Every structure is written in C-alpha cells, then in structure tokens.
C-alpha cells in the first residue's frame, strides 16, 4: 500500500508565479515597476501641466498643493516633467537592455557550444569590455549624433559583452551535464539542444543580469543626459533634470533630488525583481 | 551464426590529447555481442569502460578501429545515417539526476525522441505513446507532468529507461544504471531491465564496477584495465575460473556476504599506472605478483586459453596450470 | 559486554525546514563495547549519518535538533557536557572519518601537517615531537614518510583515505566512527583500505562504528551489526546471527534483493514500495506499509525491542511474547 502523496502538478509558469508571490519584496518591486510602466505609457495624459510650459510667476517653488514636486527655475511643474520623462527612462533602459540581451545571449550560446567560435567571439567581447563605458558611448554619440535611438543602440553595444559572458558561463556548465549528452544520443540537432535545453537552463543568471543591466542602462542614459551627450533640452529625461538642478542644490534641492530618487526607485525595484525571479526560476529551491 | 551478432567492435581505440601527452582511454578493444544477450563490461576507475560505450554510440568520436552494427560498418558513418541509427542504439546513464533536463516534465523527456524523429502526427498520438512507455517502465500516469527533482532516484532512472526505449532500439549501452540507486531500488530496476530484454529481444552492453550485479545480469563479461581487455569469458566460466592476475584480485577483493565462501584476499600492491603515453608493456605488470621480464617490455596479446575464454597475459597458462 | 564504551538510549533527532519536520532518528538504541566493531547498515535516508553526527554533537542547529535521548560514553552523557569538553573529546577520544576523501582534506595544507594539527590540538607536546609522531602514523597507514610534505591532490583516492584514517587514529581514540569510508573507492582499493582498518583496529584496540550500506563490508570487518530503517534499529545482533538467521522482514527482504556473488538467482526479489518520507512517517511500524507479513497491530502501534537469543534483538510484533 503506497503512502498517499497527492500533489497536483502545476504547470511551470504557475509554479514560478506561485514562488514569486511569496517573496514580498519582489512583489512590491513588481508593483512599482508596473506603475512606472503605466506612467511611461500614459504619463503625457496624466500630467497636469505641459512639460515645457514655463511660468515666470511660479519660479522655484517648493513642493506644494498645486505643484506636488515644486517648480524649476523656468517655472515648469516638476511633477508633470517627472511623469512625462518617465517614458524616456523606460525606453532607454529597457530598450537598450533588450537589445543587449538579444545580441549577448546568442553570442554567448554560440561561444559556449562551438569551441572554434569561442575564442573569436570572446576576444571581440573583451575588446569592448576593455573600453571604459562612458568613453565608448561618448565616442559613438559624438560620431553618430544624439538621437535617442543612437543612445539606445550605443548602450546596448556597451552591455552586450556582459550578457555574452554571463550566458556563456551558465551555458558551459549546462553543456557539461549528462542530459545534453542524452539529447545527442536521441538524435537532437544543435539548434534544438541550444534553444530548447541549454538556454532555458542558463536563464537564471541571465535574468538577474537583465534587471541589473536595465537599472544600469537607465543610469547610463541619465548620465549621458547629465553631461549633455544624451537627450537634449527641454525633454524632461530624469538625468537631464538632475543636471538642471545642479546649481540649485543648496536652496532648491527638490529639482535634482526628486528625479534622482525616481531613478533610484526604478533601479532598486528592478534589482529586487531580478533576485526574486532568479529564486523563483530555480526548480530546485523550495521543494 | 554470423547473423546472430548484433554488434562487432574491432581494435577500437580512443586517445585524448592532453598537455602531457596522449591519453589512451580505449586502446585496441575487440569483441562481439550477440543479439538478445548482455555483455558485461567491468573494471575500475580509469579503465575506459564508460568511454568505450560512448565511442560505440558516436557520442565521442573514435580514434581508430571498426564498429559494425548489424553487419553495417558504421565506423565512419554520415551524420544523416547516424541520425537514423540513433533510433536503434541508445544509452542509459548512471546519474538519474544530471541525465534529465530539470526544466522538462516526465512526459517531455520521455517523448522527446518522438518529436525529434517526427514519429507522431498529433499531440494525442504523442500522449498515447508516452503513456504506453510510462506503463512499461512502471511510472504512474499521474507523474506525467512532474519534474525530475520531485521524484526519487528510482523513478528518475525509470524515466531515463523510458526515454531510451521510446524509439524501440535494438541495442542499449547501460552505463552504471543502478550504481546510484539504493539497494532495494536496484533490484526493482534490474528486474525491469531483464524483463524488457526478454520481451523485446534487447541487446545490452552493461557497464559497471559492481561484480555481483554484472554476474547477475550478463551472459558474457569483459574485464578492462587501463583501456584494454585483460579477460573475456562467459559469466559462469569467469566466476569459476579467473585466469588473469587482475581478475583474480578483483574478484577476491569483493567482500562476501556468506561466510562459507570466504577466501584469502589478494591485495594488489602499488597503484594504477598512468594512461598517458603508456609504454609497450603489460600495463598491469607493476602490480602483478607473477610479473617476469617479458611483461615489462612487451604488451601481451589477447589469446584464447580455453574454449571461448580469452586472456591477455604472457603467462596465463603457466599461472593457472593449463596445458 | 560488561561495561560498554558507548550506549545510546532513546535518541531522537529532528530536522525542521520551513514548516516541514523530518524525523531523522527515532528512539535509537545502540551499544558498542570496548574494542568492538559494530556495523550500522541501512539505505539512504535511514538516519545512519545523523546518528553518527549526533554522537559527535555535530548536528547543525538549526535546522537539526536532538529531541531526546542519552548518549553515554564511558559513563558520561555526551549530550550534557559542555562544548569545550566535547571539543576535547572529538579527535582524541572519538574520531570520525567521512565518505568522500576528496573533500575531507584541506587542499592547501600538506598532509603531514594535517595529521600534526590533530596531535597538537589534543596533546601538549612540541611541534617537532608532533611531526615525528605524524610521520610514524603515515608509515603505519602505508604511506612512505617522505610524502609528509606533499599536498592532497598528489595522492590518489585510496591514499587520501589513508591520510584521513591517519588523522583519525593518531591520538588513539577509544571509538572511531567511519561513515561509508570505502564507498567512493574502487573495489581493489577498498580491499586495501579495509585490510588497513582491520590491522589498525587490532593494533590500537579501537572500537568502531562502521556505517555503510554494503553488507559485504560489514561481514568482513564487523563483530556486531545493527540494521536501521526510517530512523530506528529494526534488528541487531552479531554478524552471524543477523546475516545467517535474519529475522526482521526488512532484513530478510534486504538479503533477498541483493545480487550476491555466491548465489545464483534468476530473478531478484525487490522490496516493494519505498522508504517513507521522514516528514510523514506512518503511524505504527515504519516498515508496515511494505511488509508482507504485517498484521493489524503493526499499523497502529510501534513495536518494542524484543530479545530473541543472547544478544539478538528484533523490533517486530511477529516476535512479541503474546504471539508465542
């Protein structure tokens, strides 16, 4: 007589979601990001004032009931500018990261699976990693211009090697496992092995890297704007807003600090989600 | 009689290049396996038995020698033909955990061969065939959507066996299939494998270091040492008469459960020599109590000393008082 | 037989992770006499290693916890001594060797120094004297003293295990606990190591607790044996009693399911089912669900330990006096 162990097997996705739900911090961060995405999509319509609307009567007001985050030196409503600028932050951060991940994952998988390509790919990646990030970006932008799409591409190129490295490392340890040998034994071809078996099992570190990189991309985009190499005035990209408030830090701190906090909020939330997803993805944790 | 032979291996060699020289993992192995029988391959770590199994299945490329499967020379087979052949030659692994993709369900793992070889028309057919195999290997249907980590070693090994059986192979390399399992589960899996062999006329190459298990399941046994066969005989014969000094030591080293059969243990001196750039000599000589000058300068050839009993030792007959 | 070296009474150990509690050891009774070699056999999950760690008070807390029991070592209850006293006992009075020689030795320390370290921890002698002692110990385990300054990676598996044994015996402990010491080794190397253990046992007159799942090893070096299942001992006695006349259905089943070199069987007789989940042990006898001879009582009550012959004990209702 067998001991009764009824265990309804959930599908893979449901399992991941269930595990993620238990993680309170990750869930809170997820909510934050969802709000951010919402604002990115609809910020323009939610903003009470136009981002470029200048009002010389209301210059440099502290946060108050009408202007929730105060006004800047041109009398523009900071709250509206935050809402409006959100989509730039999101577009640059996620856009660049998605591109970097796409390039990097493919390169990393190929390097891990095909020994002959390994050296070639990784040495090229090393060249890029060797270049200091900001310098590389400034170089690209100086040559190609400050269009936001160029910014995204440039940041993506900057982070592709990181994804390639992480993917390659994870893939290498997966490829050493016997179940990959088993796939060869049953006749699977290389593509099937790479994308159906190696990639899904290498995802955990890649996902964490994704969220980290998304945060870093946002910071990088903000930094570029801060030094004037990115988005141009009067677009309220958060980094640019921080830069705008530099001279007023002593007296009107809210001009820089509030967009700064917004950047920190998004980056931190992304990190927590990354941790949460990585833990939830590991099928061996929480039996 | 020739039609009876399913697999024939002739002077098979596999060398690996290392920074210190060539590692002779498999060094000139020759044997036949008859259809429907089990060839046991025994030896200790470093003898090359696992490499041998993988080379035969083309999971590792061979260095030289011939592999003949059902009278077809598959030593240098095209990748297209290899893909077809994979249906007939399968492998069961030792570690029931690392040999299963942790992200795939039981059903996916067992049924993958069907998808790869495009042998099902629709998902109903797929599920039906997967369930059939699950029944055959003794896995409850409710485990269809379970993941390997949710199951114990015995069940996981059944998944591995199911996957190997899915395409109805003729030949299966079993690489230590029960070594990682608990004793009471080992018996269950061994019985299953025997039943499957009878029902489907399967041919096994059973690789193990456990002599009690190999005695139980094999018809014929080869004993390997540092990449070479030192002795080959039918099971019963081998356990009654060991002619090679290494085999003698191996069998005497096994702790017995029944006291009546207690015998003096032969303890080997020294350590196993390196498989890298081995000299032309008997590789066992440095540990052998019977070693003479000849043993250190000339590698012995495998010869039949009594009918169907082959030994690779210069002094096999003298040591054992034969002829 | 008169006064035992080690006496474990009613030991219970639990592991708790999140809300799941595993009863690893349940009311364990075990006795080891001076100089005796006692085997503890069972399959994975039976609780053998936990019992050994319990004796050494090495059970990680959390998640483990010793719920009850007494471990009498030379009259003293080890569960009540201070940690300081326990440290002085480990390595000098009771030593333990583990299964995997690969990870038991410090890879960046010379092997001779590792033995010396053990000596210096327990004996008040100079480094030079300790080094000499360590060298002598190496010779005793069959390793040339010149290899004192080599590192673990320069040794094969069997040799590493010899070094581990040297560390364990150098302070002449009264009891050596060996947890699957030869499982990871090749058969011929295992034979060498077992011969060594036998020789040293005689020379040092050390008592041994040999934990293993390999019945052949038990037969080879043990005087007495305890069969463990789901955290408790189901049968114990001398090796002859238990191996030649097994009484408990689990012991009998175990022998029938193992292929043996000396018997020819067409088919093995596996024990059906699986060991129970230690977090969900059945009420009553833990083996009852798999037992072909179980009766009603087995499912509701746990059997006591019953003495069959002189020294032969079994824990099964089939032998309770009421039945007779």
pLDDT of residue A1: 29
CB C312 within 8 A of CB C225: no
CA distance C107 to chain A (A): 23
Task: Report pLDDT digits (tens) over A41-86.
Answer: 888 888 888 877 888 877 888 888 888 888 888 888 888 888 888 8
Task: Report pLDDT digits (tens) over B129-160.
Answer: 999 999 999 999 999 999 998 888 889 999 99
Q: Which of A171, A175, A186 to mutate to test the interface with B (most CBs of B within 10 A)?
A: A186
CB C33 within 8 A of CB C207: yes
H or E element at residue B29:
strand B21-34
3-state helix, strand, coil in chain B (%, to 5): 35, 25, 40
Place of tokens 């066992």: B284
C partners (3+ CB pairs within 8 A) are A, B
Give the Å distances, CA to CA, from B31 to B8, B38, B89: 6, 12, 17
Place of tokens 């008592």: C207
Cβ of A181 within 8 Å of Cβ of B59? The answer is yes
Query: Pick the residue with more confidence: B241 or B257?
Result: B241
Mean per-residue pLDDT of chain B: 91
CA distance C12 to chain A (A): 23
pLDDT of residue A13: 63
Tokens of B297: 């300068």
How does DSSP classify residue A195?
I
CA distance linking residue B211 with residue C190, whole number of Å: 14
pLDDT of residue B262: 56
C-alpha triplet A173, A177, A183: angle, nearest 5°: 125
H or E element at residue A220:
helix A199-226
CB B39 within 8 A of CB B31: yes
Q: What is the mean pLDDT of residues B44-68?
A: 93
Nearest CA in chain A to C294: A1
CA distance linking residue A279 with residue A270, whole number of Å: 14
Q: Is pLDDT above 90 for A163? A: yes
Task: Report pLDDT digits (tens) over A254-280.
Answer: 888 988 899 899 989 988 888 888 787
Mean per-residue pLDDT of chain A: 83
A partners (3+ CB pairs within 8 A) are B, C
Backbone angles phi, psi at C306, to 5 degrees: -115, 140
Of B186, B216, B255, the CB nearest to C219: B255
Q: Is pLDDT above 70 for A7? A: no
Task: Report pLDDT digits (tens) over C106-134.
Answer: 988 999 999 999 899 888 899 999 999 99
Read off the pLDDT band of A14 (50, 70, 90): low
Spell B291-306 as b/e; 16+ CB within 10 A means b.
beeebeeebbebeebb
CA distance A119 to chain C (A): 30
pLDDT of residue C321: 65
Read off the pLDDT band of A5 (50, 70, 90): very low
Cβ of C265 within 8 Å of Cβ of B216? The answer is yes
Instruction: Collapse the DSSP code of A248 into the 3-class scheme (helix H, G, I; strand E, B; otherwise coil) and give the result.
Output: helix
H or E element at residue B200:
helix B183-200
Cβ of B91 within 8 Å of Cβ of A185? The answer is yes
Percent of chain A with pLDDT over 90: 23
Series of mean pLDDT values for 10-residue runs along chain C (324 residues): 81 88 91 93 89 90 88 90 90 86 86 91 90 92 90 88 91 92 86 90 91 90 94 93 92 88 81 84 89 87 87 88 51
Tokens of C186: 């090749």
Query: Taking CB atoms and an 8 Å cut-off, how many pairs form between chains A and B?
Result: 70
Q: Which of B55-64, B304-313, C236-245, C261-270 has the lowest mean pLDDT?
A: C261-270
Read off the pLDDT band of B263 (50, 70, 90): low
CA distance linking residue B26 with residue A23, whole number of Å: 52
The reply to whether A6 touches chain C by the CB within 8 Å rule is no
Task: Report pLDDT digits (tens) over B178-220.
Answer: 988 888 888 999 999 999 999 999 999 999 988 989 999 999 9
- E strand spans, chain C: 6-17, 20-32, 37-41, 64-73, 76-77, 94-97, 175-179, 207-212, 224-229, 232-238, 306-309, 312-314
Cβ of B44 within 8 Å of Cβ of C188? The answer is yes
pLDDT of residue A106: 94
Q: What is the DSSP string of C38-78?
A: EEEE--TTSSHHHHHHHHTT---TTTEEEEEEEEEETTEEG
Of B183, B187, B250, the CB nearest to C187: B250
Q: Which residues of B touch A192 (CB under 8 A)?
A: 116
Tokens of C97: 């060797």
Place of tokens 């399959």: C43
Give the Å distances, CA to CA, from C216 to B32, B257, C97, C208, C236: 33, 5, 19, 16, 16
CA–chain centroid gap for B5, Å, is 17
Q: Please say whether the dihedral angle defined by the alpha carbons of residues B188, B194, B198 and B199, taken in this order, is positive or negative.
A: positive
Backbone angles phi, psi at B228, to 5 degrees: -125, 155
Residues 134-153 of B with CB under 8 A from C: 152
Q: What is the mean pLDDT of residues A194-219?
A: 87
CA distance linking residue C197 with residue C171, whole number of Å: 15
Residues 282-311 of C with CB under 8 A from B: none
Using alpha carbons, select from A37, A159, A154 the residue that is nearest to residue A91. Answer: A37
Q: Is pLDDT above 50 for A10? A: no
How does DSSP classify residue A194?
I
Percent of chain B with pLDDT over 90: 69
Nearest CA in chain A to B164: A186
pLDDT of residue A9: 43
């Amino acid at each position: 007589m067998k001991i009764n162990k009824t265990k309804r097997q959930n599908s893979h996705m449901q399992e991941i979601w269930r595990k993620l739900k238990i993680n309170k911090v990750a869930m809170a961060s997820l909510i934050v990001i969802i709000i951010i995405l919402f604002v990115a999509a609809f910020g323009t319509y939610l903003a009470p004032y136009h981002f470029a609307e200048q009002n010389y009567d209301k210059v440099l007001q502290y946060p108050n009931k009408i202007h929730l985050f105060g006004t800047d030196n041109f009398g523009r409503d900071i709250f509206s500018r935050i809402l409006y600028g959100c989509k730039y932050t999101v577009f640059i951060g996620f856009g660049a990261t998605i591109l970097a991940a796409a390039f990097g994952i493919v390169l990393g998988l190929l390097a891990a699976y095909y020994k002959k390509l390994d050296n070639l790919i990784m040495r090229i990646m090393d060249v890029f990693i060797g270049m200091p990030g900001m310098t590389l970006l400034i170089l690209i932008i100086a040559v190609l211009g400050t269009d936001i799409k160029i910014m995204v591409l440039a940041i993506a190129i900057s982070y592709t090697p990181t994804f390639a490295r992480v993917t390659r490392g994870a893939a290498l340890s997966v490829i050493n496992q016997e179940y990959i040998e088993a796939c060869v034994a049953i006749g699977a071809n290389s593509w099937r092995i790479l994308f159906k078996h190696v990639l899904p099992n290498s995802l955990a570190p890649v996902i964490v890297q994704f969220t980290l990189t998304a945060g870093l991309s946002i910071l990088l985009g903000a930094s570029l704007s801060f030094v004037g190499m990115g988005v141009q005035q009067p677009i309220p990209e958060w980094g640019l807003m921080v830069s705008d408030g530099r001279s007023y830090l002593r007296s009107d701190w809210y001009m820089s600090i509030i967009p700064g906090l917004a950047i920190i909020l998004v980056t931190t939330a992304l990190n927590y989600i990354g941790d949460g997803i990585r833990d939830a993805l590991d099928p061996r944790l929480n039996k | 009689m020739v039609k009876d032979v399913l697999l024939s291996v002739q002077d098979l060699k596999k060398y690996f290049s290392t920074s210190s020289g060539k590692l002779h993992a498999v060094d000139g192995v020759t044997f036949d396996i008859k259809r429907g029988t089990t060839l046991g391959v025994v030896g200790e770590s470093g003898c090359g038995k696992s490499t041998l199994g993988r080379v035969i299945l083309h999971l590792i490329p061979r260095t030289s020698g011939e592999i003949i499967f059902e009278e077809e020379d598959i030593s240098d087979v095209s990748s297209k033909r290899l893909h077809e052949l994979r249906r007939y030659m399968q492998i069961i692994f030792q570690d029931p955990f690392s040999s299963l993709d942790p992200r795939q369900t039981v059903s996916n793992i067992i049924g993958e061969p069907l998808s790869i070889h495009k042998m099902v028309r629709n998902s109903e057919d797929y599920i039906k065939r997967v369930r059939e195999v699950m029944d055959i290997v003794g896995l409850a249907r409710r485990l269809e959507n379970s993941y390997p980590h949710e199951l114990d070693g015995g069940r996981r090994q059944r998944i591995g066996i199911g996957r190997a059986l899915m395409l109805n192979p003729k030949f299966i390399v079993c690489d230590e299939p029960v070594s990682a399992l608990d004793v009471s589960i080992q018996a269950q899996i061994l019985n299953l494998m025997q039943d499957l062999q009878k029902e489907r006329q399967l041919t096994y190459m059973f690789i193990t270091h456990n002599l009690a298990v190999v005695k139980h399941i094999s018809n014929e046994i080869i004993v390997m040492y540092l990449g070479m066969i030192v002795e080959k005989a039918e099971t019963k014969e081998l356990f009654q008469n060991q002619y090679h000094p290494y085999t003698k030591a191996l069998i005497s080293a096994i702790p017995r459960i029944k006291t009546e059969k207690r015998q003096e243990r032969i303890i080997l001196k020294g350590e196993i020599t390196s498989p890298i750039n081995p000299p032309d000599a008997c590789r066992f000589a440095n540990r052998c109590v019977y070693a003479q000058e000849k043993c250190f300068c000339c590698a012995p050839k495998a010869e039949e000393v009594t009918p169907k009993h082959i030994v690779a030792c210069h002094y096999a007959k003298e040591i054992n008082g034969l002829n | 037989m008169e006064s035992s070296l080690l006496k474990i009474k009613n030991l219970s150990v639990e592991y708790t992770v999140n809300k799941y509690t595993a009863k690893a050891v349940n009311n364990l009774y075990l006795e080891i006499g001076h100089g005796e070699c006692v085997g503890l056999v069972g399959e994975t999950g039976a609780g053998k290693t936990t019992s050994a760690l319990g004796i050494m008070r090495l059970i990680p807390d959390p998640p483990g916890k010793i719920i009850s029991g007494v471990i009498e070592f030379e009259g003293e209850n080890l569960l009540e001594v201070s940690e300081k006293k326990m440290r002085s006992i480990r390595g000098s009075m009771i030593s333990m060797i583990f299964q995997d020689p690969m990870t038991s030795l410090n890879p960046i320390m010379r092997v001779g120094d590792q033995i010396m370290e053990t000596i210096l921890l327990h004996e008040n002698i100079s480094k030079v004297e300790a080094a000499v002692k360590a060298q002598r110990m190496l010779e005793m385990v069959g390793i040339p003293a010149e290899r004192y300054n080599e590192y673990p990676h320069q040794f094969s598996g069997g040799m590493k295990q010899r070094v581990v044994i040297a560390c364990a015996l150098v302070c002449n402990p009264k009891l050596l606990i060996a947890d699957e010491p030869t499982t990871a080794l090749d058969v011929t190397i295992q034979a060498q190591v077992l011969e060594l253990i036998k020789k040293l046992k005689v020379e040092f007159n050390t008592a041994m607790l040999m934990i293993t799942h390999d019945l052949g090893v038990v037969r080879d070096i043990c005087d007495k044996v305890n069969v463990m299942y789901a955290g408790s001992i189901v049968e114990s006695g001398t090796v002859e009693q238990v191996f030649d006349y097994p009484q408990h259905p689990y012991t009998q089943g175990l022998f029938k399911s193992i292929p043996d070199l000396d018997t020819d069987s067409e088919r093995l007789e596996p024990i059906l089912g699986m060991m129970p989940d230690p977090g969900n042990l059945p009420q009553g006898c833990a083996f009852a669900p798999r037992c072909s001879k179980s009766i009603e009582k087995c499912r509701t009550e746990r059997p006591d330990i019953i003495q069959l012959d002189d020294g032969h004990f079994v824990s099964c209702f089939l032998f309770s006096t009421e039945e007779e």
